Amino acid sequence: MINRLSHTSSLWAVFVFFTITTFLFTPILLQAEPRDPTIARLFSFIERLQTIEAEFTQQVEEADGSMPKLSRGRFSAKRPGLFRWDYREPFEQMILSDGESVYYYEVDLAQVTKTRADLLEETPAAFFVSDRPLDQTFTLSVTEDATWKLPSVRMVPLTQGTIQEITLTLHPQKDEILNLVVLDSLGNHSRFTFLKIRYNQPLPSDRFTFSLPEGVDLIDESDNNTP
């Protein structure tokens, strides 16, 4: 997914990270308290989330059974609509949203792809940024995480789209994400583990501002479609 991408795949990667971030920062409007305590914890955790920064590892397991691809980097996000994924290994790359546009910067290719955040929101997985209650866009169930052997929340979209499901595992004693897994429509699993996490700490807004470096090409996809 991230190790070396075609132009089309790079836009898919932007969508996946946009999906994860906006899911974590989507307002949750509960009509009734969930009955299961694991689901109730997830609702409570997301409601309190204002900022997050962490180091992460990502392992992509493709449906064809090929060797898993491992990436590492740093992630930060701030409400409303700001996020940044900085990849350090195996290639230096960045995915940044300033709330209006999303930039995918491939450093070694000296290339930036720009798209509008609202266009990403209108993909088949728009429920991730919807103001509707989470349990009106997903079928929520509790499963066991294969790695940590802990209760996890499995979220399956009620409407078929490019994401088949998201599974999130919280630490049993504290508000901390242990594992997040995204299964896409091609059968690929993207597994994220977060380290050195800091929640609700002040983050400078200029961290989420993109300036085009000298000598870097810009591929502007902003006007390819209209909402």
Question: What is the rounded distance in angstroms from the CA atom of residue 66 to the CA atom of residue 78?
Answer: 35
CB of 192 within 8 A of CB of 20?
A: yes
Distance of CA 26 to the CA centre of its chain: 12
pLDDT in tens, 82-104: 888 899 998 899 988 888 888 99
Q: What is the DSSP letter of 213?
A: P
Domain limits at 73? 7-220
Average pLDDT, stretch 111-131?
A: 59
Question: What is the rounded distance in angstroms from the CA atom of residue 92 to the CA atom of residue 76?
Answer: 16
- Is residue 121 scored above 60 in pLDDT? no
- The answer to the question of residue 227 being in a domain is no
- Winning range, highest mean pLDDT, from 7-11, 118-122, 144-148, 165-169: 165-169
- The answer to the question of residue 201 being in a domain is yes
- DSSP per position, 98-145: ESSEEEEEEGGGTEEEEEEHHHHHTSTTGGGG-SS-GGGTEEEEEEE-
- The answer to the question of residue 23 being in a domain is yes
The kind and range of the H/E element at 7 are helix 7-24
- DSSP per position, 172-199: SSSS-EEEEEEEETTS-EEEEEEEEEEE
- The answer to the question of residue 1 being in a domain is no
> How many domains, the chain?
1
- The answer to the question of residue 2 being in a domain is no
- The answer to the question of residue 198 being in a domain is yes
Phi-psi region of 81 (alpha: psi -120 to 50; beta: other; left: phi over 0): left
Q: Which residue has the higher pLDDT, 133 or 37?
A: 37
- The answer to the question of residue 77 being in a domain is yes
- The answer to the question of residue 57 being in a domain is yes
pLDDT in tens, 128-185: 334 456 677 778 899 998 888 899 999 887 877 777 888 989 988 888 888 888 888 8
CATH number assigned to the domain comprising residue 141: 2.50.20.10
